[in-house]
Amino acid sequence: MPAVREVLGELETELARVEAQAAPTWQALVEPIERMTDRLALTWGVVGHLMSVKNSEELRRAYESVQPNVVRFSIRLAQSRAIYEGLQALRAGGAFRELDAAQQRIVDLLLRDAELAGVGLQGEKRERFNAIQTERAELRTQFSNHVLDATKAFAVTLREPEEVEGLPPSLLELAAQAARGAGESQATARAGPWRITLDAPSFRPFMEHARRRDLREQLYRAFFTRACAGALDNTPLIARILRLRRDEALLLGYKTYAGLSLASKMARDVPAVVRLLEELRGACLAAARRELEELGELAGAHGAPEADDLQHWDVPFWAERLREERYAYRDEDLRPYFPLPGVLDGLFALARRLFAVKIVPADGEAPVWHEDVRFFRVHDDKEVEIAAFYLDPYSRPAEKRGGAWMDEYVGRSRLCAAPGRSVRLPVAYLVCNQTPPVGNKPSLMNFGEVETLFHEFGHTLQHLLTTVDYGLASGIRNVEWDAVELASQFMENWCYDHDTLIGLSAHVETGEPLPEQLFRKIRAARNHRAGSRMLRQLYLSFLDLELHHRFSANGSDNISEIQEQVARRNTVLPPLAEDRFLCSFEHIFAGGYAAGYYSYKWAEVLSADAFAAFEEGELDDEQALAAIGRRFRETILALGGSRHPMEVFRAFRGREPTTAALLRHTGLAT
């Protein structure tokens, strides 16, 4: 609290000084903005990071006490009329033509962001707008805290062997370890008791393997009704958040919040987004229907009573049985081949192979927030350090929010370089929630966890390998939201590349690499239920878009109606009447994906097309691979927000993207 307040006081003084001068030059306006936003981002960013990975009641109280002050200063800076008019004068004057292309884009983006921050509002409208920003920030924090608390509040302790029939050894070990942590000191993987939670490494394998249908139903209902009742109920928060967003959009002259959101994205407007989503929906809907029918047929072939009444809690179980039957391997068979240390070695070898960077362990050279956190430095091919990052790999449901993400600690910046240095190097956080080590074994990753690590590493590379020296456009900064998933989803493709996957695998006991037969099965299974997976993403994308494009003032009933309408067109197994998934949908209510969840599919089109460039160059031709990798690094990974993402994509690919590669990769091409 004292640190944040001290920083804010100094920034208020600096802002007043800049406003008093406000000469229409880069040095007088843009550079002070970078210094001020960087100083605040560094201080407040660390606090926000700890809220996600080291949450506690004490930290929450401190965070909530100063958050309004941070929001007020951010609004004050964004709405500074003196700075805005100075930027307008800079944009209109001859000095603008002397700036390079990246500087010109930064000026344009600062003007746009000021307008979206309400710089043009006056009187009561400005007061209302600012009040909305403060309340929205508070609601985001409440929403996220409720989800975290609701997730860790639920657990079921199983004591009978028949209750855990079908569960893989890795989950039994994890569940016994969780039971010991909850006070069952004698718990063992063989004899129990076993504690199952809603945390991903526990919930997902339980839903895929537990033979007890009633227990799967219990877990499913608990998961999809998180944070929807009692003191942790997010239902009123959702209605309030949507109203505030709608009101904010109207104040700024937009008809809906979706229109406001898209004003700063790569997609031009809502119809452009809908066209893409509808094209993908047309490609996957029939496949998703067939895939659901297949699960019912399989359940019937095994004499399961749910064959004629397949429910949501049956789908993961029978989908896994179908994959085992069709491709003759279990996901659990893969875990021993993917201990985290070996996966990291293989991932870093790929980065060196493609992008000519060397990643070296630097544990102990930087302070960490948990003993499991690791620190790495990144060197170029001349052994010069160019970046660094933290890795926080394991699930900690008591203090760490779910999911996986990458965020920045600091960005590359010439202006913010330390004395005697030409540039400040970027540093990132790479955070996952994978299965933690059990006993004396390292973390043994399932294939989905390997893909997630590759995904987040792609984000990390885009932040770390930037060559832009302007802090307002380096790394991931000012990259349009619907393009920011390009690098991450691109990296997932390498999980299916032969040399990459074989190279990072090493059996935890024998050290043997993944057998060729298993690799072929993994690749054959890549498109297992591809239609269903895509339709799920489209359902969430359409739902997000509809909530922010058609929401009225009718409250939660209206929200339910919107969800039902979207589900009718975009699901093959309609949600339960009591489904309250929206109450834990942090992406759009506590994160940055409001009216932007479509970004995953939008960027997946870009990433698939980008990977196709490597396929066209022959993946086993090392010289060609290195050349394409260098071009990818010099464009997609290097240019950050210094150029429009379509311009960046064209610089890499030589043309605009098409959906052809994505539909081919997913097996949905007609």
CA 259 to chain centre: 22
**Cα–Cα dist 137/589, whole Å:** 10
**Cα–Cα dist 535/594, whole Å:** 19
- What are the tens digits of pLDDT across the range 503-557? 999 999 999 999 999 999 999 999 999 999 999 999 999 999 999 998 765 544 5
636 DSSP assignment? I
pLDDT value of position 555? 47
- The DSSP-derived string for 561-601 is HHHHHHHHHH-SSPPPTT--GGGG-HHHHTSS-TTTTTHHH
Q: Are 443 and 435 in contact (CB under 8 A)?
A: yes
Determine phi and psi for 388, rounding to 5 degrees: -155, 160
Residue type, 393: P
Element (H, E) at 34: helix 31-53
Q: Which residue has the tokens 């430095």?
A: 377
With a CB cutoff of 8 Å and minimum separation 6, the contacts of 441 are: 339, 508
CA 514 to chain centre: 29
86's tokens: 């100075």
Q: Are 320 and 210 in contact (CB under 8 A)?
A: no
224's tokens: 């999809």
CA 315 to chain centre: 25
pLDDT value of position 428? 98
Give burial (CB, 10 Å; 0-12/13-18/19+) of 439: exposed
From the list 642, 662, 638, the residue with the least C-alpha distance to 652 is: 638
Catalytic residue list contains 516: no
From the list 218, 216, 223, 221, the residue with the least C-alpha distance to 299 is: 216
**Cα–Cα dist 16/269, whole Å:** 37
Q: Are 466 and 249 in contact (CB under 8 A)?
A: no
The domains found in the chain, sorted by start residue, are 2-120 (1.20.1050), 157-226 (no CATH), 335-478 (3.40.390.10)
End-to-end CA distance of the chain: 58
- What are the tens digits of pLDDT across the range 349-381? 999 999 999 999 999 999 999 999 999 999 999
Which parts of the chain sit beneath pLDDT 70? 552-557, 670
**Crossing angle of the two packed helices 57-78 and 123-153, in degrees rounded to 10:** 160
pLDDT value of position 537? 98
Residue 330's SS3 state is coil
668's tokens: 């949905």
**Cα–Cα dist 102/94, whole Å:** 17
Write down the catalytic residue from 456, 480, 492, 586: 456
pLDDT value of position 670? 67
**Cα–Cα dist 322/318, whole Å:** 6
**Cα–Cα dist 285/279, whole Å:** 10
Q: Are 408 and 428 in contact (CB under 8 A)?
A: yes
pTM of the model: 0.94
Residue 56's SS3 state is coil
Residue type, 225: T
Element (H, E) at 195: strand 194-197
With a CB cutoff of 8 Å and minimum separation 6, the contacts of 107 are: 26, 30, 87, 90, 91, 96, 99
Give burial (CB, 10 Å; 0-12/13-18/19+) of 534: buried
Determine phi and psi for 21, rounding to 5 degrees: -95, -65
Q: Are strands 194-197 and 155-158 parallel, antiparallel or unpaired?
A: antiparallel
